[in-house]
Amino acid sequence: MQKSRNILILILLITFASACDFQMNPEQQKMKEPIGPQSLTLSSDKISPEVLWSLGRIGETALSPDKTKLLYGITYYSIEQNKGNTELYLMDLAAAESIQLTHTSWGEYNPRWRPDGKKIGFLSAKSGSMQLWEMNPDGTGSTQISSIEGGITGFDYAPDQSKILLTAEVKLKPSTQDIYPDLPLATGRINNDLMYRHWDHWVDTYSHVFVADYNGSSISNPIDLMKDEPWETPLRPFGGMEQLQWAPDSQSLIYCARKKTGKAYSISTNADIYQYELKSGKTINLTEGMMGYDLAPVFSPDGNLLAWESMERDGYEADKVRLMVKNLSKGTVADFTEGFDQNVQSLQWSDDGSKIYFISNHHALDQLYSLTINSGTIQKITDGVHSYTGLIPAGDQLLATRMSMSSPIEIFQVDEASGKQSQLTFVNKPLLDQLTMGKVEERWIETTDGKQMLTWVIYPPHFDPNKKYPALLYCQGGPQSTVSQFWSYRWNFQMMAANDYIIVAPNRRGLPGFGQEWNEQISGDYGGQNMRDYLAAIDELAKEPFIDEDRLGAVGASYGGFSVYWLAGNHNGRFKAFIAHDGMFNLEAQYLETDEMWFVNWDLGGPYWDKDNPVTQWSYANSPHRFVQNWDAPIMVVHGELDYRIVASQGMQAFNAAVLRDIPAEYLYFPDENHWVLKPQNGILWQRRFFNWLDQWLK
């Protein structure tokens, strides 16, 4: 169940931090040479798994205080070493030229400019644990600033440079050995409430915020602002430093937290924004009474206004993301997106505080927008077939990261007045210039209930309309995650097309970007209209003379995996092969196995034992495991043991059922991967088995 909120976090934090082993292990520290750009001469103009894992991945960006230089990270991977490494780069915006600042084997993360612009702060595990370091803007003079036991996970400078906030993991509950010191080798875990594990880890620690004094060369006296409190900030599992911010006067800071524990935490999305006053030590809840997610707060330049992303309803993680602004002196709150039927993300104030820039998805494209505070007018800034993932205001220009189905993330400069977009980085040009990408086509297809549905069709490179190709129906996860112009390092449409498949990727019911009504229809209707949407898309494309209707497959992960399992029992002979990754197979078991109970309570309607709830009973009646008797086509199942959102036993059940029914099946199991596949060699193995399976049954 991928999150529909905070797309930037999903793309950047997960891909760049987790895949790089953010908490460095001893083997990484022994690397003798940094991992850098790959100089490859390709034997084919079609993308391959090895080429995919050789591409550089742009990560976090930071603009210098004088707005003349852009700091950014690039992650490169070594297939041989099976790990990644992130280095920092600096671009002179006037010249649009970049230099590499760091050349290490331990990586540099979370880059920040010191407010005076004389130093660059970053996290590094050079000394063993992740600590705060600083260097000169030219990359010289690297010096360790912190020595926090166990390391830190994030930081930010106070605007006046007198203090630094840090985030670090804090142990608050006793381990088995703490309770029974005479059993030092015992491995059992003692749990008395829910949320004992989350996403891919057991909850043994909580992320807390610390404030430390800073003298320009070291920190001292770190104070835990949440001492002894059993909740975390940033919110796990995807929250980052966007959930914390200093006030412009450096006298307070704000942070996001869901101050609940156990069962209450597991059933609620009610995260609030808190302001901590340094002088008094007082904490104020700024979003008291607002019941959904309240995240990503940003102060106006003068500190009088606070903007943030807000969902209205508790327990609904895919609710509309509104743009809220609070006048801190008056205490009034305004919803500036009340008549704007789209989500917002990546809020940034203009330098003069008159506007808020943001990213919003409309019709599967993430574009840049602006809100003028005085008039409440929302203006679209960019157009084009692409998706923006982050932005930074820089005077009359915007600096933004952008991707598409045909290109990984690069940095662009956008002129606000004209909307002109100019590419600034060309990280992967040497490799991309050797590749031929398939055509990406937008189609609008009529659904069974008379609606129009945007469907992306991706063609093989060197497409020949006189040939007949096998086609793949791509089933999206989430379930509320748009099939936008994304570049994936696993579900890569150009990779699928390069293997001579035509990809059909519908924005079926239950996806944002097409209005809240379209998005919400899926909740309580698993196995309903959204499945008919899938079938409408593949049936329409199968009419094309260049698609072989006898060689159709269906693939997907997470909710897409559920979709594949469901379609396997309800496709009426359409498909000849299936691949399901980390999918829900048995919804009754899923209800009691998952970590975030608010999701299954909202989307399935509640527990399966609630016999008087028609929504609940419909949901569980449409569980894929109830249709196994209809399975008649080969199926490949993929699952990771560290997936605590949809546990590995879901995949095992599906595979076992197929084998017991004499359905050709394959089970690709990863003992060290979570809901994604993040290690290079596992990623390549995934691609090889993926196409081995499809080629076996569709070619």
Q: Give the active site residues.
A: 558, 643, 675
Termini Cα distance of the chain: 31
- Tally Cβ neighbours within 10 Å of residue 223: 13
Task: Specify which residues 307 forms β-bridges with.
Answer: 298, 325
Beta carbons of 316 and 602 less than 8 angstroms apart:
yes
Count other Cβ atoms within 10 Å, centred on residue 362: 17
Instruction: Estimate to the nearest angstrom the gap between the alpha carbon of 685 and the chain centroid.
Output: 22
- The token pair at 600 is 């299954």
Gap between the Cα atoms of 170 and 345, Å rounded: 29
Q: 3-state class of 629 per DSSP?
A: helix
Select from 118, 384, 114, 376 the least CA-distant residue to 368: 384
Tokens at 213, concatenated: 């004094």
Alpha-carbon gap, residue 123 to 156, rounded angstroms: 11
**All residues at 6 or more sequence positions from 281 whose CB lies less than 8 Å from its CB, including other chains:** none
Residue 278: CB atoms within 10 Å: 18
> Angle formed by the axes of helices 559-568 and 529-541, to 10°?
70
**What is the C-alpha separation between 347 and 368, in angstroms, rounded?**
10
For residue 172, what is the DSSP state?
-
Q: Would you report the helix, strand and coil content of the chain in percent, each value rounded to 5?
A: 20, 35, 50
Helix (H, G, I), strand (E, B) or coil at 95: coil
Q: Whole-angstrom Cα distance, residue 544 to residue 492?
A: 23
Dihedral angle, C-alpha 617, 269, 320, 564, nearest 10 ° = -50
- Coil vs helix vs strand at 422: strand
Sign of CA dihedral 663, 669, 675, 676: negative
**Dihedral Cα 532, 538, 542, 543, nearest 10 deg:** 50
- 88-to-84, 100, 102, 274, 322 alpha-carbon distances in Å: 14, 6, 6, 32, 34
DSSP bridge partners of 677: none
313: buried, middle or exposed (CB in 10 Å: 19+, 13-18, 0-12)? middle
User: What letter does residue 375 receive in the DSSP assignment?
Assistant: T
Q: Can the peptide bond before residue 234 be classed as cis, meaning omega within 30 degrees of 0?
A: yes
* Residue 693: both structure tokens together: 């399976």
Instruction: Write out the DSSP string of 18-43.
Output: ITTTSS--HHHHT-SS---------S
In whole angstroms, give the CA distance from residue 627 to residue 586: 11
- Contact indicator for 634, 577 with CB cutoff of 8 Å: yes
Q: How far apart, in whole angstroms, are the C-alpha atoms of residue 36 and residue 388?
A: 25
- Distance CA(358)–CA(369), nearest Å, equals 5
Helix (H) or strand (E) holding 314: none
